Chains A and B, each alone.
Chain A
Amino acid sequence: MSKFNLNLYEAPEELRLEFKINEFIDSVFGADVTAVVRNDFFLLTKPKEAKTAFRGVDRLGMFICREHEYYVLHDPILSRRGLAVGCKLKEECREVTDKNYDKKTLSYQKFLINFEMAWLESYMRHLKNSLIERISEGSPIIQKEVVRQSWADLVERMESLRQVINQEGQQIEYFVIPSLVEEICSLLAKLAGGRALLSGQAVEMLWIFNIINRIYIASGDAL
């Protein structure tokens, strides 16, 4: 079959979420750690799920869950991305208690937020070129008044997100991030049109970022 010429966004290697999560957990917590857990919930990657024992970390330290002490929910779209969500069902057997984990888990939150920002910037660059190239009713889509206004809304929210994330010397106001990311993704998805529904495009990332942010970011508490 001929190639589907729809100018779809292809995420670069450094924006492969499951790969980057594994890389971060391995380097900060150690290769034997399965997932970072917050309020009993967690996001899991396929290679980590395959491990025999579930070794979780939270702000208090490291713990082990036996097979019946946690639950993993498989969703076809998350599975396609090598991800799953889960929750801890029981009080765990704590292996390590160390207040340094507070900082380490905070750095995991920062890593996730920075990843989201980087993905949004990359997708926005791609979308801009696509809107310039695509013609509708005889003119490039970017020239339509309604598209320009949506683009301005997008730029405004991206700037807000950038300011929130880059507040030097201040604590990041986490609670504003999920709604900003949701609004940005939603604008990107609407600007992209039907192609945004395809795998790896704006709707999928909107949904995945919503999951990540509800597990790890929402409510503003540190992990």
Chain B
Amino acid sequence: MNNLYFGLDLNLAEMRYGTEAAMDIAFARRIALGMDTDPLGIDYYRFEPTITKLCKDRDGSCVERSKLAEIIAYGDANVFLACPNPSLAGGAIREIADQEQKKYFFDFVEETHCTTFTGITEPQHGSDVASLETQLAKIDVNTYQITGEKCFITHGFDGKIGVVVARTGSGPLGIQSVMLKEEDLKRGEEEGTLQREMLPIVGLRGTCLSRIVFHNFIIPAENLLGKHLRVSQRGMFSLIKIFNRMRPCVAAFSLGQAQGMLDYVATAISHLTWSQRCLLRSLNAELSYARSNLYASAKIIDENPLDSASVSLVKAQVTRLTERVCSRLLNQIGAVALCAHPLLLKWSRDIYAFEYMEGTSDMQKRNVSQKYLARTLVGMNQK
């Protein structure tokens, strides 16, 4: 048997993802349990090569970003989510910010290696953007103020820079994204117009899922994103593209986690029976098929970020598969898995969080059926 590093067979990791990737995987696996106990502890590691690589990502494609997400998540998905990087906020900035705003955001993340946040979800309406209630009101030509509440925001508590989506008027054209810089956040917290609270979550604790409350929180007008774009290009339309670009990444770190878990069981748990090894082989094959679908859909999104049917399908498929892989593995191994393998115990709760990231499976399925039916109807009309 190969030597194991925190339950990780480095030869196998290298074979799957390459030599350079094995270093990223080993880093994630090494700090996996620590980041579960103390998610803010990632600050200690923020100049590690893996995190530097993440923070330098300015214009990577959806395929490239998804590959890196899968690699790190093979070590531990929670570590990937705890790591400083431009993340979804980076996606929003890439999509709607002007050149100056882009430079500011990406320079800041690359220099400070900070976590970032994107505030969309609200307590009463979830991530239903059409029902957003948070208000962005103009005070004068230089100043705006935000009032409202956001919840389930990744790194909302500790992020030093982020993007918040609010409403300037009714309807889909009344949606506006703004960048919140470190100095805005500090000032708001000092004045009491901004309050941030980390939520007590069960899985993927590295996300530091948070709640943010704005009460007449002042921002300069220069923070408004997409002033150079038409109103229709910077509102709901842009959010759809941002989410579509993020979904393959979510599916990728879910898949990476499932693969990591499967390989952990195959290598770190001795005395597997023949039928258990058969099960592992069959689950491994399912993960391979899902991987092919995932990267095909990421390629589609790179070509057309509005073509969301395949990526929604993949996100729902991979989420379900990851939950099933975990459940079937643990059913085979039983209580030993939970009482003698802290990583398996941790992963067995982390995997339930993927469902809620970038849209639940019901939402993805609705998207899939709408898009496929629309294509069919167009085809019928053409005949």
Q: Known contacts A197-B202, A203-B352, A206-B352; is A190 also within 8 Å of B361 by CB?
A: yes
Q: Is A80 an interface residue, CB under 8 A from the partner?
A: yes
Q: Are B348 and A6 closer than 8 Å at their CB atoms? A: no
A210: chain B residues at CB < 8 Å are 330, 348
Cβ of A218 within 8 Å of any chain B Cβ, yes or no, is yes
**Which of these binds chain A: B69-77, B286-294, B339-347?**
B339-347
CB of B34 to closest CB in A, whole Å? 11
Q: Which 6 A-B pairs have the closest CB atoms?
A: A199-B200, A41-B335, A204-B202, A207-B349, A194-B356, A215-B335
Q: How far is the CA of A40 from the CA of B197 in the complex (A)?
A: 41
Name the one of B36, B151, B202, B345 contacting A199, with C-beta atoms under 8 angstroms. Answer: B202
User: Is A137 close to B, CB under 8 A?
Assistant: yes
Residue positions of B touching A, CB distance < 8 A: 36-37, 121, 123-126, 128, 130-131, 149, 151-152, 195, 197, 199-203, 205, 209, 211, 213, 323, 327, 330-331, 334-340, 342, 345-346, 348-349, 352-353, 355-356, 360-362, 365-366
Q: A4-B123, A137-B131 are in contact. Are A182 and B335 (CB under 8 A)?
A: no
In the bound assembly, the distance between CA atoms of A86 and B335 in angstroms comes to 10
Kindly state the separation between the CA atoms of A135 and B327 in the bound complex, as whole angstroms. Answer: 33
* Highest count of chain B CB atoms <10 Å: which of A87, A201, A211: A211
Known contacts A4-B197, A215-B338; 13 additional CB pairs below 8 A are: A4-B151, A76-B36, A77-B349, A80-B200, A86-B339, A87-B339, A134-B124, A135-B124, A136-B128, A137-B128, A146-B362, A199-B200, A203-B352
A203–B349 touching, CB < 8 Å: yes
In the complex, which of the residues B342, B353, B356 has the most CB atoms of chain A within 10 Å of its own CB atom?
Answer: B356
- For chain A, give the interface size range: 35 or more
Report Cα–Cα, A157/B331, bound state, in Å: 20
7 A-B residue pairings within 8 Å (CB atoms):
A87-B335, A137-B128, A197-B209, A197-B353, A206-B352, A211-B338, A214-B335
